[in-house]
Structure 1
Amino acid sequence: MNMFRELLANRKLIWKLAKNDFKTKYSGSYFGIFWAFVQPIVTVLIYVFVFQVGFKAQPTDTGYPYVLQLVSGIIPWFFFSEALLSATNCLLEYSYLVKKVVFKISILPIVKVLSAIFVHIFFICFGVLLFVIMGKIPPIQFVQIVYYMFCTLCLAIGLSFFTCAIVPFFRDFYQMVSIALQIGMWLCPIMYDISLIPTKIQFFLKLNPVYYIVQGYRDSYMNGIWFWHHGTMGIYFWVVTILFGILGFKTFKKLRVHFSDVL
């Protein structure tokens, strides 16, 4: 609770630093922020070519083309993975601030997560535009995408407090998180429909909390299902997210006194 009050008291500073982090991330390159949008789009085009052209992926019973199924699921994953990876490395990136006694270093993971939200909002709008162009206007349930965005924020923040606290002591942990995210992407039903997986394995895939988010985005873009229809899964998600948050906050609080020494 003390850390939560600390974050709330510094909310204006967090937002200011998040905007500044987003602006400066690509400041050294010629095209600047343009690269933040190009890379995910190119990635989507590659997946569409491989799975729809190469493997001849067919639309599911929803009747939506494969590209729309892919985009609606991959948008939240881009946000989650970018936010978690950036926040994992935040103490190393802002080591000059960590060494300042008066600076509240607990805001740094949140700054990096919020910095990723600007590109995410662009891709949410890009997804809507793509659906409209292909004649598939999202249903009224699209408004609940704000809820699922909040779910992604909470999960990423909770995990990032743990991962960023470990990295200063074990630098290889960043690479381990990156590999885990690559594996996690294939464990989520993003590239494929979960109905293609045997029922027994589906249960284990649904234990991944990101599955709830990915499915929620698809419900918002395509299926027209309100989030309260997934009551049991929603309860499971929030229990897991809160547990991750408690673990992350406690780990960060315990190790924060040693950050300046190892950095």
Structure 2
Amino acid sequence: MLKDIISNNKLIAKLAKNDFKQKFAGSTLGVIWAFVQPVITVLVYWIVFDKALNAGTQGTKAGIQAPFVLWLSAGIVPWFYFSEVLSAGTVVLQEYNYLVKKVVFPINVLPVVKAVSSLFVHGFFVLFTLVVYLLYGFGISPYILQVVYYSIAMMILVIGLIYMTSALCVFFKDMAQLINIILQVGIWATPIMWNFDGMLDKIPLWLAYVLKLNPMYYITSGYRDCFISHVGFWTRPALTAYFWIFTLVIYFLGTHVFRKLQPQFADVL
């Protein structure tokens, strides 16, 4: 399947571009809505937590204090991408059922199309966050380049997941609703709105280890390392090794399920 993805890279790029445009076809502002929504979401969270609940600054393990809006933005940027791709990718085969029914079309590239399509907004949001940091006078270091590494890591993780969920959704229609519920719980199970480092002395050690098993903990913490702590991913070898083992297992499991069920897709859809 990896060979098919590489050999069909131009097709994936074309479909991803069309998929991105198609989301907002017919609306007056068009693709502008794709960029407005995440910005508004951050502003709402900022007003609620920083202004209404007086969250103040948030400290990192490196001892750096950052305004809440900066700390929140660094953690929620990857979550927007992850949740959007997982939600849309789960129903990708139903959305493109007319392509699935074509015998000669390489349908195993469709999950990748969703992951690439969402990169447009993700890239914009990373740049938007950088601008906000600069406006706050927060220094930017070369460690920011690690965003590319964490983005690729997250992309591989979510592609593996949607290979599995999209295949299962063909036969189990409730999978899409189940994924939405998991994402609603997941945003609170991941240290995005709350500070994991600030809670280590308040929660049992075993619970801290359980929370770290969430692969998105590695990604959101990594983004904060890029923007705030200025720490390299190689300084967390155990967590990095766990993330990649988990991700590769999910990827190979997801592609295996997809291949096994693929011959029946056209009949069911």
TM-score by length of 1: 0.97
For 1:5 and 1:63, the matched residues in 2 are separated by 45
Counterpart mapping for 1:83-94 below 5 A: 83-94=85-96
Question: Percent of counterpart pairs with the same letter?
Answer: 45
1:199 is displaced (CA, Å) by 4.4
> Which residue of structure 2 lines up, in the alignment, with residue 222 of structure 1?
228
> Which residue of structure 2 lines up, in the alignment, with residue 39 of structure 1?
37
1:54 is displaced (CA, Å) by 2.2
RMSD between aligned residues: 1.0
Counterpart mapping for 1:10-159 below 5 A: 10-61=8-59, 62-159=64-161
> Which residue of structure 2 lines up, in the alignment, with residue 260 of structure 1?
266
Which residue of the other structure, out of 158, 180, 187, is the alignment partner of 1:185?
Answer: 187
> Which residue of structure 1 lines up, in the alignment, with residue 216 of structure 2?
210
1:189 is displaced (CA, Å) by 0.7
1:234 equivalent to 2:232? Answer no
CA contact (8 A) 1:139 1:222 kept: no
For 1:69 and 1:123, the matched residues in 2 are separated by 14
The structure 1 segments of at least 4 consecutive aligned residues displaced by more than 4 Å after TM superposition are: none
For 2:197 and 2:266, the matched residues in 1 are separated by 49
Q: Secondary structure at the match of 1:64?
A: strand
Unpaired segments ≥5 residues, structure 1 = none
TM-score by length of 2: 0.95
For 2:126 and 2:178, the matched residues in 1 are separated by 29
Q: How many residues align?
A: 261
For 1:250 and 1:172, the matched residues in 2 are separated by 21
Q: Secondary structure at the match of 1:60?
A: strand
String of CA shifts for 1:9-65, please: whole Å, max 9, x gaps.
111111111111112211121111011111111111111111112221131332210
